[in-house]
Amino acid sequence: MSPYSVTRTLPVHATAADLRTDVLQGLGRSPKSLPPKWFYDARGSELFEQITVLPEYYPTRAEREILRERAREIASVTGARTLVELGSGSSEKTRVLLDALPGLHTYLPVDVSESALTAAAEALLTERPGLSVHALIADFTRGLTLPGTPGPRLVAFLGGTLGNLLPDERAVFLKSLRALLRPGDALLLGTDLVKDEQTLVAAYDDAAGVTAAFNKNVLSVLNRELDADFDPDDFAHVARWNTEHEWIEMRLRARSALTVKIRELGTVVAFDKGEELRTEVSAKFREEGVREELAAAGLALRHWWTDREGRFALSLAAP
């Protein structure tokens, strides 16, 4: 087999059809909500990269600290020959893992963005000429089939993205991950942790306003993709800690009563003054909760590692 191949399991038009369904459903109900995956067009991905270096946004740095600290242990415990990375995004943390896994045969990044995948894969091929890279264009929230690659497999789902799914969605998703694993395989999971409200809210409402721009970018996505006429200035960025569910919610609050035309859908959506559209949930976890959610999916928590300040955790779990 060639050391580099790309497989697309995501139908080319799936994204457009999914966006229409999500917008029709999400803006048609009360309270209004949208799934967070629609933030990430080219501009949104760029804004997210800016978020990761903000002084208030600690998760990326905390996770990197754990990875650097534990990469060798992860390598020796798993003996991974295939590394599967879901939502491969920032290739920097991947490199920390890859460097610690000299015995690795195949790297299998999975992402919905073809451009992100090919750029990362090409860079890696020059650095690790022996490595076989198989990029998979797929939406991993929609069930995943992996090509036959040598085991043991290590499936990495980093960045705390699990927290962007609602509890029911997480249960389904973790079971689908469990189904990818055979005896001897492992899951490496990054989760942000519950902490004081002030730290959490600041991480999602930074002084420079980058997260506000990221939040409002979803309106530009709808304007472009669905020929809508949102004015981002009509909305205020809101980040709120939900004590009951232990998650951060990002919302967009209408500054006045207004209507928005969504021409592609042939609809008009009305907002009351002060009405809020929920654009993201970012759940924060505790060790016991992670252990229970993994167990419910048939996965045993084998290692729990946090950064020195106890802000973020990496879990290593096995079937």
Query: Could you list the residues that contact ligand AVJ (CB under 6 A)?
Result: 51, 59, 159-161, 163-164, 204, 211, 280, 282
Q: 149 vs 220, which CB is nearer to ligand AVJ?
A: 220
Q: Which is nearer to ligand AVJ, 117 or 269 (CB)?
A: 117
Which string of DSSP letters, residue by residue, matches 128-141?
-TT-EEEEEE--GG
Q: Closer to ligand AVJ at the Cβ: 35 or 159? A: 159
**Distance of alpha carbon 299 from alpha carbon 111, whole angstroms:** 23
Q: Closer CB to ligand AVJ, residue 185 or residue 280?
A: 280
Nearer to ligand AVJ, 51 or 101 (CB): 51
201 annotated as ligand-binding: no
Minimum CB separation of residue 267 from ligand AVJ in Å reads 27
Residue whose entry in the numeric block shows the structure tokens 């991905």? 45
Give the shortest CB-9-to-ligand AVJ separation in angstroms.
22
Helices (H), 183-296: 197-203, 210-226, 287-296
Query: Between residues 10 and 62, which has the closer beta carbon with respect to ligand AVJ?
Result: 62
Angle at 283 between CA 158 and CA 297, to 5 degrees: 65
CB-based contact 200:240 (threshold 8 Å): no
Query: Nearest CA to 313 among 279, 283, 271?
Result: 283
Give whichever of 56 and 114 is closer to ligand AVJ, judged by the CB atom.
56
18 annotated as a binding-site residue: no
Token pair of 131, please?
């490595």
Distance between start and end Cα atoms, the chain: 29
Kindly list the distances between the CA atom of residue 260 and the CA atoms of 22, 216, 238, 309, in Å, as whole numbers in the listed order. 16, 15, 20, 45
How far apart, in whole angstroms, are the C-alpha atoms of residue 162 and residue 159? 8
Q: Establish whether 204 is an annotated binding residue.
A: yes
Burial (Cβ within 10 Å: 0-12, 13-18, ≥19) of residue 168: exposed
Question: Is 244 a known ligand-binding residue?
Answer: no
CB of 51 vs ligand AVJ, minimal distance in Å: 5
**Shortest separation between residue 223's beta carbon and ligand AVJ, angstroms:** 20
Please check if 87 is assigned to a binding site.
yes
H helical segments located in 54-145: 59-78, 91-100, 114-127
Residue nearest to ligand AVJ (CB): 282
140 is annotated as contributing to ligand binding:
yes
Q: Is 192 annotated as a binding residue?
A: no
Distances in whole angstroms, Cα of residue 273 to Cα of each of 79, 102, 173, 203, 258: 56, 58, 36, 27, 7
Q: Which pair of tokens denotes residue 197?
A: 């409200």
- To ligand AVJ, the closest distance from the beta carbon of 130 in angstroms equals 31
The least distance separating ligand AVJ from the CB of residue 73, rounded to whole angstroms, comes to 24
Compute the least distance from the CB of residue 236 to ligand AVJ, in Å: 16
Annotated binding site: 57, 87, 93, 111, 139-140, 164, 204, 280-282
Annotated binding site for S-adenosyl-L-methionine: 87, 93, 111, 139-140
